[in-house]
Amino acid sequence: MARSSVATLVIAHFNQNNFLMSNTSINVEQIRQYFLGLQERITAGMSAVDGKSFATDSWTKPADAKLKGDGRSMILEEGNILERGGVGFSHVRGDSMPPSATAHRPELAGRAFEAMGVSLVFHPRNPHIPTVHLNVRCFIAQAEGKDPVWWFGGGMDLTPYYGDEADCKHFHQTCKNALDPYNTELHPRFKKWCDEYFYLKHRDEPRGIGGIFYDDFSELGFEQSFAMTRSVGDAFLEAYLPIVKKHQHDPYTENQREFQAFRRGRYVEFNLVFDRGTLFGLQSGGRTESILMSMPPIVRWGYDWKPAANSPEALLYTNFLKPIDWIAR
């Protein structure tokens, strides 16, 4: 599908059960410009705190590539706060949806697709500052003679190494504040979805303390679903930067850095085994450097590794890595 400054799609609106349809006009360029602007605002906000700027790598897929489209990767490595941080924008099109995208929607197998969004992961050097992830995206699936199908997805989640209850409460409250104007039932639903999604089944443990996650979302209609997704994206800096500023000068030891490296290994395991976005990118012929810039720079594994009993590191498991209603605490 060609992109232009006035690109517009006329598509069908499906509710979650795919029963309700109504024609909706969608300005693809408007979505694209929001995502590009969000990327710029987040990198500017993080750079102002870190003191170093993100490098920019704009890219376009070759004309004969399996996946068509373009994007912009912005990365900060060896910063004053971020050991590695990447914020990626991509807008891609393909002739056939990959298995990761149709696993939960088999009726869409074989359809052409268009997808765009922003995804980021920040890995701070100081183990007292949590790793954070944000993703907001829009997906359109099309087939000749059939109504197009669209949806939004996204969310944000926090992965601390040394838990802080006030940080957890602030992060979750900010997520709730972003969703409540659209329906007060969304936050508990998306929080539960996040707790269940960011879970390492082979380890029987969560990746972090959660946040919000949603996918295949269209139930508010296009305008409100897009507005809700913008609200999530716009809330990111408010959710994360106060936590960074609170802990950026906290002292830490090499033993704490070692614990951080072990926990980062769990992050890598989740992204490569379970994460839909990573699998979608790799299976669809996406740009590998951009897909994998979410990986931490220093990681460690150890055979049958576990923290010492009753240690500060063990408290992460007993007091934080479990589904908790942080707002009510």
61 backbone dihedrals φ, ψ, rounded to 5°: -70, 145
Find all residues with CB under 8 Å of 171, minimum gap 6, and list them: 158, 209, 211, 239, 240, 243, 326
Between CA 193 and CA 211 the distance in angstroms is: 9
User: Using CA atoms, how far apart are residues 69 and 42, in angstroms rounded to an integer?
Assistant: 23
Beta bridge partners of 137: 117, 153
Query: Do residues 113 and 153 lie in contact, with contact meaning Cβ atoms separated by under 8 Å?
Result: no
Select from 87, 137, 127, 95 the least CA-distant residue to 284.
95
The angle that helices 165-179 and 186-197 make with each other, rounded to 10 degrees, is 130
Contact 92, 284 (CB under 8 A): yes
| Alpha helices for the chain (secondary structure H) | 28-50, 99-102, 165-179, 186-197, 221-234, 236-247, 254-273, 276-283, 288-291, 312-319
Exposed e or buried b for every residue in 167-199, given b needs 16+ CB within 10 A? bbbbbbebbbebbeebeeebbeebbebbbebbb
Residue 309: burial class (beta carbons within 10 Å; 0-12, 13-18, 19+):
exposed
Instruction: Find the angle CA(150)-CA(72)-CA(171) to the nearest 5 degrees.
Output: 70
Burial of residue 3 (CB within 10 Å: 0-12, 13-18, 19+) is: middle
Active site positions, annotated: 133
